[in-house]
Amino acid sequence: MRILIPAFLLLLLVSCASASSTAKGDVDPEVQSLATGQLLWSRCQTCHGVDGRAKTTYGAEHSVPDFTTQSWRDTRPYDELVESITNGCGPETAAGTSAMPSHGELSKEEVRALAVYILSLGEQG
């Protein structure tokens, strides 16, 4: 069962992972299934593209990073990805949401699976 903690979500700042960060962070050992992340990735493709390169209209309009480059991966610790996916990040859009929408509907495990999947993208070619 999913446990939602709205207060926890409200307390967190809506911001993207810092570009100056260099720590890689540890991938949660509980996450075994890349397949779970791959399945959930369908929700993200409109903006991030099937391959994570963000070669989409939205990606171009909002300078969405290419997840497959080594330079991007090197500056994004796993736990910051988790935070960005959960709470969203980026500048506010005209619609009043952050450019990268929050995904509070996902369970902790689902978000972790997505972060692991994203970090695997660059290794696919």
Q: Which residues bind ligand HEC (CB under 6 A)?
A: 16-17, 43-44, 46-48, 58, 62, 64-65, 76, 81, 84-85, 89-91, 99-101, 103, 114, 118
Residue length of the chain: 125
Closer to ligand HEC by Cβ: residue 31 or 100: 100
The CA-based dihedral angle spanning residues 78, 81, 85, 91, taken in that order and rounded to the nearest 10 degrees: 170
**Burial class (CB within 10 angstroms; exposed 0-12, middle 13-18, buried 19+) of 103:** middle
Minimum CB separation from ligand HEC for residue 80, in Å? 6
Query: % helix / strand / coil in the chain, to the nearest 5?
Result: 45, 5, 50
Closer to ligand HEC by Cβ: residue 8 or 58: 58
Minimum CB separation from ligand HEC for residue 2, in Å? 15
Minimum CB separation from ligand HEC for residue 115, in Å? 7
Minimum CB separation from ligand HEC for residue 92, in Å? 10
Closer to ligand HEC by Cβ: residue 103 or 108: 103
User: How many Cβ atoms sit within 10 Å of the Cβ of residue 3?
Assistant: 6
Closer to ligand HEC by Cβ: residue 39 or 47: 47
Q: Which residues contact 75 (CB under 8 A, 6 or more apart)?
A: 17, 19, 20, 21, 22
